[in-house]
Amino acid sequence: MTGLKALFVLLCILLTFLTYTPIPENIEEPWKIMALNAFGKSFILMGLLIECTGFMKLEDLLSMVIMLDYTEPLSDEYVMVTDTTFNDIPVRLYLPKRKSESLRRAVIYFHGGAFCFGSFKQSPYDSLNRWTANRLDAVVMTADYRLAPQYHFPVQLEDAISAVKYFLQDEVLRKYGVDPHRICIAGDSSGGTLTAAITQVMQNYPELKQKIKLQALLYPALQAIDSHLPSHLENEHGILLTRDIAVRFTSLYFTKNKTLTQLMERNQHMPLESKHLFKFVNWSILLPEKFRRNHVYTEPILGLFNFSVPGLMDSRALPLLANDLLLQNLPPAYILTCQYDLLRDDGLMYVTRLRNAGVKVAHDHIENGIHGALSLMTAPFYVSQGFKVRDKYIAWLDKNL
């Protein structure tokens, strides 16, 4: 047994060396981030080794580990926390205990996790939503959705919409004391994808649309048709999130077929019929000069494989693919992007596209930011960037909602 343990520790040390990557100079808490990055990458590498033995898929291993961090709905001195279901979708509600003379503001929050993992039950989300309810004296509703690879697009989106529709009913809002004119939808990473997609889809429901006052997208994923954006190339071996892993999980949102992953790695996954969509993600036009740097735009090569995945051309899966007409009437947005994040350019291009369409956008860019900082906010990590993201988001909400 001792021998096995020693072997395990040795293997971890070896993997840490193998996965050691220097990090940019301006990163705060460099040693902590470097250790997290090495540990995260060792873990993925081990997961892939285990997957090779046929014992367990990487997704299942990650899910299991994330589940260890799930919290119970614990009320505290200020906020009453309850788990329930809306239209059969699991939701958690945070209701401030303070007496209020007037109706309250509300935030609907969707967690990240690449559509494959996680839940509002994870401690960082519990902490964030509790904080939001307390700080803003607001009602927070957060919903789960069924996950890939068992479920693919559009199941995730349909679950999310179903929970939102339930919550936005007049009698439900009345029950929780919510002001129907002061509701924001928010989410991080793939939760940001859902947020942007729901906000677009709601345009088709006039009576619901007017109840969404604002949208907040924290380092969101918004497209997958061009996998050679400058942020993809700069962060190919990015901190915690590498391009390989991002491509793998992105393709799992659409299909289990590994062919898509392989083609997306090479940016050769789109069919000829998708040609008209590339103007919506043309970074050589939509990215501010500062982020284009010396990257060279190359036209995508289409129809090489004619692999058909309809979701890849659907703006409900990839909100950047919406045309300007659809963007025009969207509610004002808050978009937060991070410099050292593969998904950075998705957020930056959406800022440009929304502004071009006349939508009011508040944009925060974290110059030394990494992807997923919010999820590193709680024990044992306490990464300072996580609090920075949270505080910027909350400050904007407080001022605008």
Nearer to ligand NAG, 4 or 272 (CB): 272
CA 257/CA 93 separation, integer angstroms: 37
Residue 266 lies near ligand NAG (rule: CB under 6 A): no
* Nearer to ligand NAG among residue 143 and residue 320 (C-beta): 320
Quote the least distance from Cβ 320 to ligand NAG, whole Å.
13
* Residue 151, token pair as written in the block: 């479920």
Closest to ligand NAG by CB, 219 vs 307, is 307
CB of 285 to ligand NAG, least distance (A): 5
Cβ closest to ligand NAG, residue 304 vs residue 362:
304
Is residue 341 flagged as an active site residue?
yes
Contact window for ligand NAG (CB under 6 A) among 180-188, 212-220, 223-231, 302-310:
302-310
> Residue 120 or residue 307: which is nearer to ligand NAG going by CB?
307
* Selected range binding ligand NAG among 19-27, 49-57, 300-308, 383-391, rule: CB under 6 A: 300-308
The amino acid sitting at 255 is T
We find the least distance from the C-beta atom of residue 278 to ligand NAG, in angstroms, to be 4
Q: Find the shortest distance in angstroms from Cβ 305 to ligand NAG.
A: 6
Q: Which is nearer to ligand NAG, 75 or 306 (CB)?
A: 306
Q: Is 284 in the site for ligand NAG (CB under 6 A)?
A: yes
The residue within the footprint of ligand NAG, chosen from 78, 166, 297, 381 (CB under 6 A), is: 297
Instruction: Pick the stretch among 153-161, 176-184, 235-243, 278-286 that binds ligand NAG (CB under 6 A).
Output: 278-286
**Sole binder of ligand NAG in the list 78, 166, 278, 396 (CB under 6 A):** 278
303-322 residues near ligand NAG, rule: CB under 6 A: 303-307
Q: What part of residues 142-201 is at the interface with ligand NAG (CB under 6 A)?
A: none
Q: Which of 285, 310, 324, 329 binds ligand NAG (CB under 6 A)?
A: 285
Would you say 5 or 293 has its CB closer to ligand NAG? 293
Using the contact rule CB under 6 A, the part of the chain among 122-130, 223-231, 280-288, 325-333 near ligand NAG is: 280-288
Residue 189 designated active-site: yes
Specify the amino acid at residue 131. W
Which position among 341, 345, 346, 364 bears the catalytic label? 341
Look at residues 213, 136, 112 and name the one whose alpha carbon lies nearest to residue 168.
213
Burial class (CB in 10 A: 0-12, 13-18, 19+), 204: exposed
Size of the site for ligand NAG (CB under 6 A): 14
Nearest residue (CB) to ligand NAG, 109 versus 254: 254
Minimum distance from CB of 245 to ligand NAG (Å)?
21
> What backbone phi and psi angles, to 5 degrees, belong to 185?
-105, 135
One-letter identity of residue 357: A
Residue 264, number of CB atoms within 10 A of its CB:
24
Q: Which residue among 68, 272, 296, 379 contacts ligand NAG (CB under 6 A)?
A: 272
Contact present, 260 and 153 (Cβ < 8 Å): no
SS3 letters across the chain: CHHHHHHHHHHHHHHHHHHCCCCCCCCCCHHHHHHHHHHHHHHHHHHHHHHHCCCCCHHHHHHHHHHCCECCCCCCCCEEEEEEEECCEEEEEEEECCCCCCCEEEEEEECCCCCCCCCCCEHHHHHHHHHHHHHHCCEEEEECCCCCCCCCCCHHHHHHHHHHHHHCCHHHHHHCCEEEEEEEEEEECHHHHHHHHHHHHHHHCHHHHCCEEEEEEECCCCCCCCCCCHHHHHCCCCCCCCHHHHHHHHHHHHCCCHHHHHHHHCCCCCCHHHHHHHHHHCHHHHCCHHHHCCCCCCCCCCCCCCCCCHHHHCCCCCHHHCCHHHHCCCCCEEEEEEEECCCHHHHHHHHHHHHHCCCCEEEEEEEEEECCHHHHCCCCCCCHHHHHHHHHHHHHHHHHC
Of 152, 232, 269, 371, which one is the catalytic site residue?
Answer: 371
Residue from 279, 324, 382, 395 in contact with ligand NAG (CB under 6 A): 279
Question: Please, which of residues 221-260 interact with ligand NAG by CB under 6 A?
Answer: 257, 259
Active-site pick, 119, 144, 152, 189: 189
Cite the active site residues. Answer: 189, 341, 371
* Residues at the contact surface with ligand NAG, assessed by CB under 6 A: 257, 259, 272, 278-279, 282, 284-285, 297, 303-307
